[in-house]
Structure 1
Amino acid sequence: MRVTNSMMVQNMLDHLKNNMGDLNNLNEQLSSGKLFQMPSDAPIKVSDSMNYKSQLNRNDQYQRNLNQAENWLNTTESSLKSATKVVQRARELSIYASNDSVTSNDREKIAGEIKELRDELVDISRAELGDSYIFSGQKTNVQPFSVTGNSDYVKYQGDKEIIERRLNENVEMDINLNAQDVFEDEINTLNNLYNQLSGQAAEVETSEFTDFNDLDNSGTFDIQVDNGAVQTVDLSGEDFDSWNEVTSFLENEIDGVTVEENDNRLIFRSEEYSEDSAIEITDTDGIFGENYEAAGSGDSYSGEEISASLTKLDNSINKYAELRAEIGGKLKRTDNLRSRLEAGEVHLKKLKSQNEDADLAEVITNLKMEENVYRASLASGARIMQQSLVDFIR
């Protein structure tokens, strides 16, 4: 094959171009610190790096979820700790107030402190994390309780939905408690205790019924509470299935009283605990067999009646201890999960670095070698280039 000068020159230029391309790649690796710049440079490595990046992003999100969960649980635990102190103090006061030797003035002072403890428990139930009420279920923008001022002192406004956080691929953790389960009974117990120490409510106990069906379609009666307006209660057309249905119906129909059943007797109790409390029942259709009148008193309840709250307060203290133990267990688990996530993050970053980061010492060595090759190519090309006619023009 005939080799011409132009062929030699063209081959030299092709090799110079390749050498310059290699130099450019090595310079890009040196300046960026990465083995590849475009997916076409190393498709498999690019795919692996994208996978590592995706796993790191998920790991980062899990750690953010973990931070949120820990903050929520720590705030909950702190609130339960405060609530425990409130209930324990209320228990101490109840024990003291249940002694019949305690004077009315002392019980009045105790009632004042019980009132403050009740209001403090309401405040604790409204604990916030940022702009979220932590005890309102998923209705985090709504205060858990509104104060009614009745015997059921508070009304729950949240819901019982669970708030969850995903902490890794396989773990979802419930992080919230709702105030209805945690605080409502305790607040009402303290309110009832305050009322008992402040005075006695008017209370009417009816004669005994055979069962709740005696009230089915039984007619009407009038009731006046605390000297207010007369309220007419119509039982015509009603068909009850239990005493609970009876008491719920009557409480909904009558303002200012609570109604309960005991041994097939109905007990109407005014929500006002003082000497101004009064109940008057006019038995229009003979439902009860007689009319009733009762008045309250400014004297507190007896020590035995006051001490009935102790069992409820003891149950509340035990409940809070169990809830705090549950929260503590979840916080311990989040610590373990955090350690695993942090270890996983280190491992993924190492794999990602090994896959895409350039070894600078190796790159610099290769760059020097390519520079030498490039210089040798230029020197070789200088020898290949022949003299042209221009060289002879003087």
Structure 2
Amino acid sequence: MAVRVTQNMLNNNMLRNLHNSMRNMDRLQDQLASGKKIAKPSDDPVVAARGMFYRSSLMENDQYKRNIDEAQSWLDMTDSTMDEVGNVLKRIKELLVYSGDGAVSPDDLKTMGSEVQELKNHLGSLANQQINGKYIFAGTDTNKAPYDATANGGKGDFVSTNSSLIDLEVSQNVFVTSNINAQKVFNYPDNANNLFKKLDGIITELSNGRNAMQFQTAIDQQYDKLLAERASLGASVNRVELIAERLNSQGVNINKLMAANEDADMAKVMTNLKTQESVHSAALGSGARIIQPTLLDFLR
């Protein structure tokens, strides 16, 4: 059975096709102006879903990079501080050896005692080293000074007993330690015989004009323990640097994937737009022939 085609049907089809053509041109012009494949999720739900996943991954990666930067700052500060502690201990070892020289007078020994006192005070300030207002040798009690100059009868002592480590997440379920157990450095082997109390003994002997050679072994042990902790710290620094490199590479890869998913192929978009413009012009030309002539067309 034949279907009767009316003028209204021709007109409606022509308008619908023109609207579709204009919609296609509008979409291509949006892509050309924004540089993106889609303007809203309904344009392509798959691209939109992947874009949300990539952005979420990028935000996580950026947070991990901030965590690793903080860990690096703590570790670098800890390493430089421990290096200075090592220099102080080396100077104390030199003074101990010098104090055993029989030609050294009691006055010289007292002067050496004064120097050791200053070195002890400097060690106290190093033990209270801070970064961003947080004490790096206080374990998780980062708001409490681990060294108290008024402790031990005003002589000063390392009073912190917190040996907890601070872990930062630098990848999914991957943690790195940003501090050290300062008890192994300043409270070794225990609080009753720690570094500062040994220095008090040295100061007492030298201030009374006596040599302090008997403390050489104890200070050597303190220095060896410091070197062992620095070696462990160095391993942590190397691991953190490797993780930082991986996070940087991962961020670049995520950005590449996100660009491939969302960015429009500009050459392809421009070609399609030119093609669509030609199609639209042809549709307008054919539409002009479809419109039914009126009496006025014959009267002109």
TM over 0.5: yes
Partner residue in 2 for 1:315: 221
The count of aligned residue pairs is 291
More strand by share: 1
CA distance in 2, matches of 1:181, 1:362: 65
Partner residue in 2 for 1:93: 95
Q: Work out whether 1:175 is the aligned partner of 2:164.
A: no
Q: Work out whether 1:342 is the aligned partner of 2:251.
A: no
> Is the deviation greater in 184-193 or in 87-96?
184-193
Q: Which of 258, 264, 277 in structure 2 is aligned with 1:358?
A: 264
Q: How far off its partner does 1:161 sit?
A: 2.1
Partner residue in 2 for 1:118: 120
Q: How far off its partner does 1:336 sit?
A: 1.3
Unaligned stretches of 5+ residues in structure 1: 200-299
> Is the deviation greater in 143-152 or in 100-109?
143-152
Q: Which of 19, 22, 39 in structure 2 is aligned with 1:20?
A: 22
Read off the aligned partner of 2:125 and give its amino acid letter. Answer: D
C-alpha distance after superposition, 1:57-103 (max 9, x if no partner): 11111111111111100000000000001011101101111344432
Q: Give the 3 Å change call, closer, same or farther, for CA 120–65 of structure 1 in structure 2.
A: same
C-alpha distance after superposition, 1:19-60 (max 9, x if no partner): 011111111111111111111111112111211111111111
Read off the aligned partner of 1:72 and give its amino acid letter. Answer: W
SS in structure 2 of the partner of residue 173 of structure 1: strand
- Would the aligned equivalents of 1:69 and 1:175 in 2 still touch at CA under 8 Å? yes
Residues 146-225 of structure 1: pairs in structure 2 closer than 5 A:
146-147=148-149, 148-150=151-153, 153-157=156-160, 159-184=162-187, 185-199=194-208
Unaligned stretches of 5+ residues in structure 2: 188-193
Compute the TM-score of the two structures, normalised by the length of structure 1: 0.70
Read off the aligned partner of 2:15 and give its amino acid letter. Answer: L
SS in structure 2 of the partner of residue 54 of structure 1: helix
CA distance in 1, matches of 2:231, 2:173: 23
**Runs of at least 4 residues of structure 1 off by over 6 A?**
none
Compute the TM-score of the two structures, normalised by the length of structure 2: 0.91
Q: How far off its partner does 1:388 sit?
A: 2.3
Q: Percent identity?
A: 35
SS in structure 2 of the partner of residue 308 of structure 1: helix
Read off the aligned partner of 2:171 and give its amino acid letter. Answer: N
Residues 60-99 of structure 1: pairs in structure 2 closer than 5 A:
60-99=62-101
C-alpha distance after superposition, 1:359-390 (max 9, x if no partner): 00000000011111111111111111122245
Q: Work out whether 1:127 is the aligned partner of 2:129.
A: yes
- Would the aligned equivalents of 2:136 and 2:179 in 1 still touch at CA under 8 Å? yes
- Would the aligned equivalents of 2:147 and 2:156 in 1 still touch at CA under 8 Å? no
- Would the aligned equivalents of 1:163 and 1:174 in 2 still touch at CA under 8 Å? yes
Q: Give the 3 Å change call, closer, same or farther, for CA 158–22 of structure 1 in structure 2.
A: farther
CA distance in 1, matches of 2:249, 2:235: 22
Read off the aligned partner of 1:30 and give its amino acid letter. Answer: L
Partner residue in 2 for 1:144: 146
Read off the aligned partner of 1:98 and give its amino acid letter. Answer: G
Q: How far off its partner does 1:181 sit?
A: 3.2
Residues 159-308 of structure 1: pairs in structure 2 closer than 5 A:
159-184=162-187, 185-199=194-208, 300-301=209-210, 303=211, 306-308=212-214
Read off the aligned partner of 2:195 and give its amino acid letter. Answer: E
Q: Return the index of the structure with the highest Cα Rg.
A: 1
More helix by share: 2
CA distance in 2, matches of 1:105, 1:59: 62
Higher RCO (Cα < 8 Å, 6 or more apart) = 2
- Would the aligned equivalents of 2:135 and 2:145 in 1 still touch at CA under 8 Å? yes
- Would the aligned equivalents of 1:94 and 1:310 in 2 still touch at CA under 8 Å? yes
Read off the aligned partner of 2:265 and give its amino acid letter. Answer: D
Read off the aligned partner of 1:61 and give its amino acid letter. Answer: Q
Read off the aligned partner of 2:12 and give its amino acid letter. Answer: Q
Q: CA RMSD in A?
A: 1.9
SS in structure 1 of the partner of residue 153 of structure 2: coil
Read off the aligned partner of 1:171 and give its amino acid letter. Answer: V
Partner residue in 1 for 2:9: 7
- Would the aligned equivalents of 2:82 and 2:226 in 1 still touch at CA under 8 Å? yes
CA distance in 1, matches of 2:131, 2:239: 21
Q: Work out whether 1:332 is the aligned partner of 2:238.
A: yes
CA distance in 2, matches of 1:173, 1:393: 90
